[in-house]
Amino acid sequence: MRIGSFELKDRVFAAPMAGVTDRPFRRLCRQLGAAYAVSEMVSSEPRLRASSKTMRRLNHDGEAAPVAVQLVGADPAVLAEAARYNADHGAQIIDLNMGCPARKVCQVACGSALLKDEALVARIVESVVRAVDIPVTLKYRTGWDRLDRNAVRIARMAEACGVQMLTLHGRTRACGFTGSAEYDTIAQVKQAVRIPVVANGDVDSPQKARRVLEATGADAIMIGRAAQGRPWIFREIGEYLASGAIPAAPLVQEARSLLLEHLDEHYEFYGADLGVRTARKHLIWYTRRLQGGAQFCEHMNRLERCDEQRRALDEFLHDAGDRCDRLQYVSGTLDDAAAPECGGDAGDLDTTRACEH
């Protein structure tokens, strides 16, 4: 499928997740089969651009095209100016966030709160599309609550304003991340517009990916929580969609090499002090479902230096490789270890949980 002039090699995408989809993690997802990966959401407020957090989120050095930046805000003029700024600083696609259900985002009329004001949605989209010469996309939810699902109206409006792709999470804002995603609404949106539609929500296996694509008719799927600690899910889904064969789990030694490389890039990106803290969630997701993972996580959480963390992961996976050739999860489901897929705030977007938006 295409987004503007960009031809994407596959139809499995990585969702934007606050505190997770930084540049090192996006690179890892792309390396493992994600055809497209969107940045953590960035505030449109110009006063925040000089903060270290926002500067990291706008760091795309060496990133493969297309570089997609997700913006959050509620003022059409401010969002338009932010889109121009990001286009001038390397963004090749602007994604508008109208899907985040976090209370602190909705309280300032951003994210999915915008779905309550369709006229404002139209003004925002029109302003941003006019402001830049690069594709503008929209990620949103099926509505504010179950009594007010307006996903189809929003989709038609966005298409008329020039949006070039829609990503729809199959829940209302009120649903948060409870219950199951409603794929019938995604199917209705797909039938209502001519632009590409991406299905998002609860896709956690190759088999589920195929079922969702068939049920919705969507052009692609977007993976969020299921990629936390399991970035090879993009490759697994791609292989399954192409061949119908269920992929084997990764070789332990391959996973060891990938994860150590990710850690090294993570430490370089954040620096030692912040890197050791922000790496902990990834280490927990990677290991807690493996044999001995719970004990490893307890030990790892007491480590205060990057070299200690790295050595601990290396030794843990080396021992796992001595026991078996391929990764073996011992109990529960992979998503048990995943944090809720949403969040951030409309200020400096400081989050403590991994969240999709």
- Element (H or E) spanning 297, and its range? helix 293-300
Q: Is residue 175 in some structural domain? A: yes
The CATH code of the domain that includes 215 is: 3.20.20.70
Q: Which of 354, 307, 312, 308 has its CA nearest to residue 335?
A: 354
Residue 307, token pair as written in the block: 């070299």
Residues 77 and 8 occupy one common structural domain: yes
What's the whole-model pTM score?
0.91
pLDDT, one tens digit per residue, over 203-244 is 999 999 999 999 999 999 999 999 999 999 999 999 999 999
Q: Is the confidence at residue 334, as pLDDT, over 50? A: no
Q: Is the confidence at residue 302, as pLDDT, over 80? A: yes
Backbone phi, psi, residue 49, to 5°: -65, -25
Angstrom distances, CA of residue 46 to CA of 1, 63, 78, 108, 128: 33, 23, 8, 16, 15
Q: Is the confidence at residue 42, as pLDDT, over 70? A: yes
Q: Is residue 339 in some structural domain? A: no
Structural domain range at position 101: 2-248+352-356
Q: Is residue 229 in some structural domain? A: yes
Overall average pLDDT of the 86-102 stretch: 89
pLDDT, one tens digit per residue, over 152-188 is 999 999 999 999 999 999 988 767 677 788 999 999 9
Q: Is the confidence at residue 32, as pLDDT, over 50? A: yes
Angstrom distances, CA of residue 144 to CA of 98, 204, 225: 11, 25, 22
The CATH code of the domain that includes 297 is: 1.20.225
Residues labelled catalytic: 100
Residues 242 and 123 occupy one common structural domain: yes
Q: Is residue 345 in some structural domain? A: no
Residue 189, token pair as written in the block: 């949106």
Residues 157 and 79 occupy one common structural domain: yes
* Number of domains present in the structure of the chain: 2
Q: Is residue 185 in some structural domain? A: yes
